[in-house]
Protein backbone atom coordinates (compact mmCIF):
# COMPACT_ATOMS: atom_id res chain seq x y z
CA UNK A 1 0.00 0.00 0.00
CA UNK A 2 2.96 2.35 0.46
CA UNK A 3 4.89 1.45 -2.67
CA UNK A 4 5.38 3.83 -5.57
CA UNK A 5 3.71 3.24 -8.93
CA UNK A 6 6.98 2.27 -10.56
CA UNK A 7 7.62 -0.41 -7.93
CA UNK A 8 4.04 -1.70 -7.60
CA UNK A 9 3.14 -1.71 -11.29
CA UNK A 10 6.12 -0.97 -13.53
CA UNK A 11 4.13 -1.92 -16.64
CA UNK A 12 1.58 0.87 -16.09
CA UNK A 13 4.34 3.24 -14.95
CA UNK A 14 6.24 2.65 -18.20
CA UNK A 15 3.10 3.20 -20.27
CA UNK A 16 2.43 6.51 -18.52
CA UNK A 17 6.02 7.58 -19.22
CA UNK A 18 5.56 6.59 -22.85
CA UNK A 19 2.39 8.70 -23.08
CA UNK A 20 4.22 11.64 -21.51
CA UNK A 21 6.95 11.32 -24.14
CA UNK A 22 4.33 11.12 -26.88
CA UNK A 23 2.58 14.26 -25.64
CA UNK A 24 5.95 16.02 -25.40
CA UNK A 25 7.05 15.16 -28.93
CA UNK A 26 3.82 15.74 -30.86
CA UNK A 27 1.81 18.80 -31.88
CA UNK A 28 -1.60 18.46 -30.24
CA UNK A 29 -4.20 19.68 -32.73
CA UNK A 30 -7.24 17.81 -31.42
CA UNK A 31 -9.81 20.51 -30.67
CA UNK A 32 -11.18 18.79 -27.56
CA UNK A 33 -7.77 18.33 -25.92
CA UNK A 34 -5.37 20.57 -24.05
CA UNK A 35 -2.58 20.54 -21.48
CA UNK A 36 -3.39 21.23 -17.84
CA UNK A 37 -1.04 22.99 -15.49
CA UNK A 38 1.17 21.21 -12.99
CA UNK A 39 -1.11 22.54 -10.24
CA UNK A 40 -4.21 20.97 -11.85
CA UNK A 41 -2.35 17.66 -12.24
CA UNK A 42 -1.31 17.75 -8.59
CA UNK A 43 -4.86 18.42 -7.39
CA UNK A 44 -6.19 15.54 -9.49
CA UNK A 45 -3.86 13.00 -7.92
CA UNK A 46 -4.54 13.58 -4.23
CA UNK A 47 -6.06 11.82 -1.21
CA UNK A 48 -9.37 13.48 -2.07
CA UNK A 49 -10.03 10.42 -4.21
CA UNK A 50 -10.45 8.48 -0.94
CA UNK A 51 -13.52 10.42 0.21
CA UNK A 52 -17.17 9.72 -0.65
CA UNK A 53 -19.52 12.73 -0.55
CA UNK A 54 -23.08 12.09 -1.72
CA UNK A 55 -25.15 15.25 -1.56
CA UNK A 56 -24.16 18.89 -1.65
CA UNK A 57 -22.15 21.14 0.73
CA UNK A 58 -23.91 21.25 4.08
CA UNK A 59 -26.31 18.47 3.05
CA UNK A 60 -24.29 15.26 2.83
CA UNK A 61 -25.18 11.66 3.53
CA UNK A 62 -21.71 10.81 4.88
CA UNK A 63 -19.78 12.33 7.77
CA UNK A 64 -16.27 13.73 7.54
CA UNK A 65 -17.10 16.43 5.00
CA UNK A 66 -15.50 19.37 6.81
CA UNK A 67 -12.79 19.81 4.17
CA UNK A 68 -14.69 18.53 1.14
CA UNK A 69 -17.50 21.04 1.66
CA UNK A 70 -14.98 23.87 1.57
CA UNK A 71 -13.38 22.56 -1.63
CA UNK A 72 -16.67 22.15 -3.49
CA UNK A 73 -17.95 25.52 -2.26
CA UNK A 74 -14.75 27.15 -3.49
CA UNK A 75 -15.17 25.56 -6.93
CA UNK A 76 -18.81 26.71 -7.08
CA UNK A 77 -18.00 30.29 -6.09
CA UNK A 78 -15.16 30.49 -8.60
CA UNK A 79 -17.42 29.22 -11.39
CA UNK A 80 -20.13 31.74 -10.49
CA UNK A 81 -17.64 34.59 -10.44
CA UNK A 82 -15.81 33.60 -13.63
CA UNK A 83 -18.93 33.13 -15.77
CA UNK A 84 -21.21 35.67 -14.06
CA UNK A 85 -23.96 33.23 -13.06
CA UNK A 86 -26.00 32.85 -9.89
CA UNK A 87 -25.75 29.07 -9.64
CA UNK A 88 -23.19 26.42 -10.57
CA UNK A 89 -23.04 22.65 -10.11
CA UNK A 90 -19.52 21.22 -10.38
CA UNK A 91 -20.42 17.56 -9.76
CA UNK A 92 -21.21 16.10 -13.25
CA UNK A 93 -18.69 13.44 -14.14
CA UNK A 94 -18.32 14.61 -17.74
CA UNK A 95 -20.11 16.51 -20.48
CA UNK A 96 -22.53 13.78 -21.56
CA UNK A 97 -23.90 13.16 -18.02
CA UNK A 98 -24.19 16.93 -17.60
CA UNK A 99 -26.35 17.12 -20.71
CA UNK A 100 -28.40 14.12 -19.57
CA UNK A 101 -29.11 16.02 -16.35
CA UNK A 102 -30.66 18.81 -18.43
CA UNK A 103 -33.06 16.32 -20.01
CA UNK A 104 -33.93 14.89 -16.61
CA UNK A 105 -34.49 18.35 -15.16
CA UNK A 106 -36.85 19.68 -17.82
CA UNK A 107 -38.26 16.84 -19.99
CA UNK A 108 -40.26 13.66 -19.75
CA UNK A 109 -39.51 10.63 -21.96
CA UNK A 110 -40.96 11.24 -25.42
CA UNK A 111 -40.82 15.03 -25.22
CA UNK A 112 -39.41 16.90 -28.20
CA UNK A 113 -35.84 18.20 -28.10
CA UNK A 114 -34.16 20.24 -30.80
CA UNK A 115 -30.43 20.30 -31.46
CA UNK A 116 -27.88 20.56 -34.23
CA UNK A 117 -27.51 17.31 -36.16
CA UNK A 118 -24.29 15.40 -35.50
CA UNK A 119 -23.06 15.56 -39.14
CA UNK A 120 -23.38 19.36 -39.04
CA UNK A 121 -21.35 19.84 -35.86
CA UNK A 122 -23.77 18.96 -33.04
CA UNK A 123 -23.10 16.54 -30.21
CA UNK A 124 -24.39 13.00 -29.68
CA UNK A 125 -26.29 14.12 -26.57
CA UNK A 126 -28.25 16.78 -28.46
CA UNK A 127 -30.70 14.12 -29.66
CA UNK A 128 -28.71 12.04 -32.13
CA UNK A 129 -30.23 8.68 -33.02
CA UNK A 130 -27.58 6.37 -31.52
CA UNK A 131 -27.59 8.27 -28.21
CA UNK A 132 -30.03 7.66 -25.36
CA UNK A 133 -31.15 11.23 -25.95
CA UNK A 134 -32.31 10.29 -29.44
CA UNK A 135 -33.92 7.03 -28.31
CA UNK A 136 -35.79 8.23 -25.22
CA UNK A 137 -36.90 11.61 -26.56
CA UNK A 138 -38.34 12.92 -29.82
CA UNK A 139 -35.44 14.64 -31.59
CA UNK A 140 -35.74 17.28 -34.29
CA UNK A 141 -32.62 18.71 -35.84
CA UNK A 142 -31.24 21.76 -37.56
CA UNK A 143 -28.07 22.00 -39.63
CA UNK A 144 -26.11 24.51 -41.66
CA UNK A 145 -26.55 26.05 -45.09
CA UNK A 146 -24.75 24.18 -47.86
CA UNK A 147 -23.51 27.40 -49.45
CA UNK A 148 -22.13 29.02 -46.28
CA UNK A 149 -21.54 26.21 -43.79
CA UNK A 150 -23.29 28.35 -41.15
CA UNK A 151 -26.48 27.95 -39.14
CA UNK A 152 -29.53 29.43 -40.85
CA UNK A 153 -31.43 30.94 -37.93
CA UNK A 154 -34.53 31.48 -40.07
CA UNK A 155 -34.58 27.72 -40.63
CA UNK A 156 -34.08 27.11 -36.91
CA UNK A 157 -37.05 29.34 -36.12
CA UNK A 158 -39.19 27.63 -38.76
CA UNK A 159 -38.43 24.16 -37.37
CA UNK A 160 -39.01 25.31 -33.80
CA UNK A 161 -42.38 26.86 -34.63
CA UNK A 162 -43.45 23.69 -36.45
CA UNK A 163 -42.17 21.12 -33.92
CA UNK A 164 -42.60 23.07 -30.65
CA UNK A 165 -39.66 21.51 -28.75
CA UNK A 166 -39.55 21.79 -24.97
CA UNK A 167 -35.75 21.99 -25.01
CA UNK A 168 -33.40 23.58 -27.56
CA UNK A 169 -29.64 23.03 -27.60
CA UNK A 170 -27.25 25.50 -29.17
CA UNK A 171 -23.54 24.73 -29.42
CA UNK A 172 -21.83 21.54 -30.45
CA UNK A 173 -18.61 19.72 -31.11
CA UNK A 174 -17.47 20.91 -34.54
CA UNK A 175 -18.70 24.48 -34.94
CA UNK A 176 -16.00 26.88 -36.18
CA UNK A 177 -18.14 30.03 -35.98
CA UNK A 178 -19.50 32.28 -33.23
CA UNK A 179 -22.73 30.99 -31.69
CA UNK A 180 -25.51 33.60 -31.80
CA UNK A 181 -26.90 33.10 -28.30
CA UNK A 182 -29.33 36.08 -28.42
CA UNK A 183 -30.95 34.77 -31.63
CA UNK A 184 -31.38 31.27 -30.19
CA UNK A 185 -32.83 32.77 -27.00
CA UNK A 186 -35.41 34.73 -28.98
CA UNK A 187 -36.51 31.56 -30.80
CA UNK A 188 -36.70 29.59 -27.54
CA UNK A 189 -38.84 32.27 -25.92
CA UNK A 190 -41.17 32.34 -28.92
CA UNK A 191 -41.93 28.62 -28.64
CA UNK A 192 -41.75 28.40 -24.84
CA UNK A 193 -38.67 26.13 -24.80
CA UNK A 194 -35.80 25.91 -22.33
CA UNK A 195 -32.60 27.04 -24.06
CA UNK A 196 -29.47 25.06 -23.15
CA UNK A 197 -26.12 26.43 -24.31
CA UNK A 198 -23.51 23.69 -24.59
CA UNK A 199 -20.23 25.59 -24.42
CA UNK A 200 -17.98 22.58 -23.77
CA UNK A 201 -15.61 23.57 -26.59
CA UNK A 202 -15.56 27.31 -26.06
CA UNK A 203 -15.84 27.67 -22.26
CA UNK A 204 -12.26 28.90 -21.94
CA UNK A 205 -12.80 31.40 -24.73
CA UNK A 206 -15.97 32.65 -23.03
CA UNK A 207 -14.16 32.92 -19.69
CA UNK A 208 -11.30 34.79 -21.33
CA UNK A 209 -13.55 37.19 -23.26
CA UNK A 210 -12.64 35.75 -26.67
CA UNK A 211 -16.20 34.54 -27.45
CA UNK A 212 -19.59 36.05 -26.50
CA UNK A 213 -21.15 34.61 -23.36
CA UNK A 214 -24.48 32.77 -23.23
CA UNK A 215 -25.19 34.24 -19.78
CA UNK A 216 -28.32 36.36 -19.90
CA UNK A 217 -29.58 34.47 -22.95
CA UNK A 218 -29.55 30.72 -22.20
CA UNK A 219 -31.65 29.31 -19.35
CA UNK A 220 -29.00 26.71 -18.56
CA UNK A 221 -25.37 26.30 -19.56
CA UNK A 222 -23.44 23.06 -19.73
CA UNK A 223 -19.71 22.69 -20.21
CA UNK A 224 -16.87 20.32 -19.79
CA UNK A 225 -13.97 21.60 -17.70
CA UNK A 226 -11.14 20.52 -19.99
CA UNK A 227 -10.78 21.61 -23.64
CA UNK A 228 -10.20 25.39 -23.81
CA UNK A 229 -10.85 25.82 -20.06
CA UNK A 230 -7.68 23.82 -19.28
CA UNK A 231 -9.07 21.87 -16.34
CA UNK A 232 -9.45 18.18 -15.49
CA UNK A 233 -11.86 15.81 -17.22
CA UNK A 234 -15.13 16.91 -15.61
CA UNK A 235 -18.15 19.11 -16.24
CA UNK A 236 -20.34 21.88 -14.84
CA UNK A 237 -23.93 23.06 -15.13
CA UNK A 238 -24.81 26.72 -14.63
CA UNK A 239 -28.01 28.75 -14.39
CA UNK A 240 -29.19 32.20 -13.42
CA UNK A 241 -32.62 31.38 -11.93
CA UNK A 242 -33.29 29.57 -8.64
CA UNK A 243 -35.95 27.42 -10.30
CA UNK A 244 -33.65 26.11 -13.02
CA UNK A 245 -30.79 25.63 -10.56
CA UNK A 246 -32.93 23.54 -8.21
CA UNK A 247 -34.09 21.31 -11.07
CA UNK A 248 -30.52 20.80 -12.30
CA UNK A 249 -29.17 19.98 -8.84
CA UNK A 250 -31.90 17.40 -8.27
CA UNK A 251 -31.22 15.85 -11.69
CA UNK A 252 -27.48 15.49 -11.03
CA UNK A 253 -27.99 14.09 -7.52
CA UNK A 254 -29.87 11.93 -6.79
CA UNK A 255 -31.18 11.71 -10.36
CA UNK A 256 -28.10 10.47 -12.21
CA UNK A 257 -25.13 10.26 -9.88
CA UNK A 258 -23.96 9.21 -6.46
CA UNK A 259 -20.89 10.77 -4.89
CA UNK A 260 -18.90 13.39 -6.79
CA UNK A 261 -15.24 12.83 -7.65
CA UNK A 262 -13.69 15.11 -5.05
CA UNK A 263 -10.18 15.06 -6.54
CA UNK A 264 -11.68 16.30 -9.81
CA UNK A 265 -13.67 18.98 -7.98
CA UNK A 266 -10.46 20.31 -6.44
CA UNK A 267 -8.73 20.36 -9.82
CA UNK A 268 -11.73 22.20 -11.31
CA UNK A 269 -11.39 24.82 -8.58
CA UNK A 270 -7.70 25.25 -9.43
CA UNK A 271 -8.43 25.60 -13.15
CA UNK A 272 -11.18 28.14 -12.51
CA UNK A 273 -8.77 30.15 -10.38
CA UNK A 274 -6.23 30.10 -13.20
CA UNK A 275 -8.90 31.13 -15.73
CA UNK A 276 -9.68 34.27 -13.72
CA UNK A 277 -6.20 35.72 -14.39
CA UNK A 278 -5.07 38.25 -16.99
CA UNK A 279 -2.63 35.64 -18.28
CA UNK A 280 -5.51 33.32 -19.13
CA UNK A 281 -7.39 36.10 -20.93
CA UNK A 282 -4.34 36.69 -23.11
CA UNK A 283 -4.15 32.94 -23.72
CA UNK A 284 -7.81 32.75 -24.83
CA UNK A 285 -7.36 35.54 -27.35
CA UNK A 286 -4.14 33.95 -28.64
CA UNK A 287 -6.00 30.66 -29.18
CA UNK A 288 -8.33 32.47 -31.60
CA UNK A 289 -5.50 34.37 -33.28
CA UNK A 290 -3.63 31.10 -33.79
CA UNK A 291 -6.68 29.36 -35.24
CA UNK A 292 -7.22 32.19 -37.70
CA UNK A 293 -3.55 32.14 -38.74
CA UNK A 294 -3.67 28.37 -39.30
CA UNK A 295 -6.94 28.71 -41.25
CA UNK A 296 -5.45 31.43 -43.45
CA UNK A 297 -2.43 29.27 -44.22
CA UNK A 298 -4.59 26.27 -45.09
CA UNK A 299 -6.92 28.41 -47.20
CA UNK A 300 -3.96 29.75 -49.15
CA UNK A 301 -2.94 26.16 -49.91
CA UNK A 302 -6.30 25.23 -51.39
CA UNK A 303 -7.92 23.44 -48.45
CA UNK A 304 -11.72 23.57 -48.25
CA UNK A 305 -12.56 24.87 -44.78
CA UNK A 306 -16.15 24.48 -43.61
CA UNK A 307 -17.69 27.99 -43.46
CA UNK A 308 -14.49 29.34 -44.99
CA UNK A 309 -12.56 29.76 -41.75
CA UNK A 310 -12.99 30.11 -38.01
CA UNK A 311 -14.01 32.51 -35.24
CA UNK A 312 -12.80 30.35 -32.37
CA UNK A 313 -10.28 27.57 -31.68
CA UNK A 314 -11.64 25.06 -34.19
CA UNK A 315 -11.13 24.37 -37.89
CA UNK A 316 -13.09 21.77 -39.86
CA UNK A 317 -11.67 20.76 -43.25
CA UNK A 318 -13.27 18.84 -46.11
CA UNK A 319 -10.50 16.91 -47.85
CA UNK A 320 -12.65 15.79 -50.79
CA UNK A 321 -11.03 18.28 -53.22
CA UNK A 322 -7.62 16.91 -52.19
CA UNK A 323 -8.62 13.37 -53.16
CA UNK A 324 -7.90 12.02 -49.67
CA UNK A 325 -10.24 10.69 -46.99
CA UNK A 326 -10.25 12.12 -43.50
CA UNK A 327 -9.23 8.87 -41.79
CA UNK A 328 -6.07 8.10 -43.80
CA UNK A 329 -5.12 11.78 -43.62
CA UNK A 330 -5.46 11.88 -39.83
CA UNK A 331 -3.46 8.65 -39.50
CA UNK A 332 -0.66 9.94 -41.75
CA UNK A 333 -0.55 13.25 -39.88
CA UNK A 334 -0.37 11.37 -36.59
CA UNK A 335 2.65 9.41 -37.82
CA UNK A 336 4.20 12.77 -38.69
CA UNK A 337 3.65 14.04 -35.14
CA UNK A 338 0.60 16.18 -35.98
CA UNK A 339 -2.26 14.88 -33.83
CA UNK A 340 -5.75 15.51 -35.28
CA UNK A 341 -9.02 13.59 -35.58
CA UNK A 342 -10.96 12.53 -38.67
CA UNK A 343 -14.43 14.05 -38.67
CA UNK A 344 -17.61 14.18 -40.71
CA UNK A 345 -18.31 17.43 -42.52
CA UNK A 346 -21.72 18.90 -43.40
CA UNK A 347 -23.45 16.95 -46.19
CA UNK A 348 -20.74 14.28 -46.02
CA UNK A 349 -21.25 11.42 -48.48
CA UNK A 350 -18.85 9.11 -46.62
CA UNK A 351 -19.51 7.03 -43.50
CA UNK A 352 -18.79 8.47 -40.01
CA UNK A 353 -15.95 5.99 -39.38
CA UNK A 354 -14.35 6.92 -42.71
CA UNK A 355 -15.45 10.52 -43.28
CA UNK A 356 -14.30 13.26 -45.60
CA UNK A 357 -12.86 15.68 -43.10
CA UNK A 358 -10.47 16.33 -40.26
CA UNK A 359 -10.94 18.61 -37.28
CA UNK A 360 -8.17 20.83 -35.93
CA UNK A 361 -7.88 22.97 -32.79
CA UNK A 362 -5.32 25.40 -31.41
CA UNK A 363 -5.93 25.24 -27.64
CA UNK A 364 -3.11 22.79 -26.91
CA UNK A 365 -0.44 24.38 -29.11
CA UNK A 366 -1.26 27.77 -27.61
CA UNK A 367 -0.80 26.37 -24.11
CA UNK A 368 2.73 25.44 -25.17
CA UNK A 369 3.40 29.06 -26.10
CA UNK A 370 3.26 28.69 -29.87
CA UNK A 371 2.14 31.67 -31.90
CA UNK A 372 1.02 32.59 -35.39
CA UNK A 373 4.41 31.87 -37.00
CA UNK A 374 4.28 28.31 -35.70
CA UNK A 375 0.70 27.95 -36.95
CA UNK A 376 1.78 28.85 -40.45
CA UNK A 377 4.54 26.25 -40.30
CA UNK A 378 2.03 23.65 -39.08
CA UNK A 379 -0.16 24.55 -42.05
CA UNK A 380 2.78 23.93 -44.37
CA UNK A 381 3.38 20.49 -42.81
CA UNK A 382 -0.29 19.52 -43.08
CA UNK A 383 -0.25 20.47 -46.75
CA UNK A 384 2.93 18.50 -47.39
CA UNK A 385 1.62 15.33 -45.75
CA UNK A 386 -1.83 15.46 -47.37
CA UNK A 387 -0.39 16.27 -50.80
CA UNK A 388 2.06 13.38 -50.54
CA UNK A 389 -0.67 11.02 -49.35
CA UNK A 390 -2.74 11.84 -52.42
CA UNK A 391 0.18 10.58 -54.53
CA UNK A 392 0.40 7.25 -52.70
CA UNK A 393 1.52 5.61 -49.47
CA UNK A 394 5.18 5.24 -50.52
CA UNK A 395 5.47 8.92 -51.32
CA UNK A 396 3.68 9.83 -48.09
CA UNK A 397 5.99 7.84 -45.82
CA UNK A 398 9.08 9.72 -46.99
CA UNK A 399 7.38 13.03 -46.27
CA UNK A 400 5.95 11.76 -42.96
CA UNK A 401 9.41 10.75 -41.73
CA UNK A 402 10.89 14.13 -42.62
CA UNK A 403 8.03 16.13 -41.09
CA UNK A 404 8.17 14.05 -37.91
CA UNK A 405 11.78 15.09 -37.37
CA UNK A 406 10.93 18.75 -37.98
CA UNK A 407 7.96 18.53 -35.61
CA UNK A 408 10.18 17.15 -32.84
CA UNK A 409 12.58 20.03 -33.32
CA UNK A 410 9.69 22.48 -32.96
CA UNK A 411 8.20 20.82 -29.87
CA UNK A 412 11.62 20.78 -28.18
CA UNK A 413 11.49 24.59 -28.20
CA UNK A 414 8.02 24.78 -26.62
CA UNK A 415 7.82 22.67 -23.42
CA UNK A 416 4.39 21.27 -22.65
CA UNK A 417 2.86 22.54 -19.38
CA UNK A 418 2.83 20.06 -16.53
CA UNK A 419 5.07 17.51 -18.27
- Catalytic site includes residue 233: yes
Cβ proximity of 223 and 95 under 8 Å:
yes
- Catalytic site includes residue 198: yes
Is 237 annotated as belonging to a binding site? no
Question: Of 233, 301, 350, 376, which is the active-site residue?
Answer: 233
- Catalytic site includes residue 35: no
Residue partners of 250: CB distance under 8 A and separation at least 6: 105
Cβ proximity of 36 and 230 under 8 Å:
yes
Question: Of 24, 51, 52, 376, which is the active-site residue?
Answer: 52
Question: Of 54, 69, 180, 397, which is the active-site residue?
Answer: 54
Is 155 annotated as belonging to a binding site? no
Is 256 annotated as belonging to a binding site? no
Question: Of 198, 219, 297, 304, which is the active-site residue?
Answer: 198
Is 64 annotated as belonging to a binding site? no
Question: Of 227, 230, 292, 368, which is the active-site residue?
Answer: 227
Is 126 annotated as belonging to a binding site? no
- Catalytic site includes residue 54: yes
Question: Of 125, 133, 224, 340, which is the active-site residue?
Answer: 224
Q: Give the catalytic positions in this structure.
A: 52, 54, 198, 224, 227, 233
Binding residues: 118, 122-124, 243
Binding residues for (6S)-5,6,7,8-tetrahydrofolate: 118, 122-124, 243
Amino acid sequence: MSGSLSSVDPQIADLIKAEERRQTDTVKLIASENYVSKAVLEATGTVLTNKYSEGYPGKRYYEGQQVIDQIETLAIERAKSLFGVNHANVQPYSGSPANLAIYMAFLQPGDTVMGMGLPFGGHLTHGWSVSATGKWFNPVRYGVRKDTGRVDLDEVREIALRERPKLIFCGGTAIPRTIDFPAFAEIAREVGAVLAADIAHIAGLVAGGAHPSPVGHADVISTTTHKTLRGPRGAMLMATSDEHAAALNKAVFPGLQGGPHNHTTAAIAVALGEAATEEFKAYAHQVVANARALAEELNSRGFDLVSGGTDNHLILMDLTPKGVGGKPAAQALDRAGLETNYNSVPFDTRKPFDPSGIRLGTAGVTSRGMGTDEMRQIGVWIDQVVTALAKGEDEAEHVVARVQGEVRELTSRFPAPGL
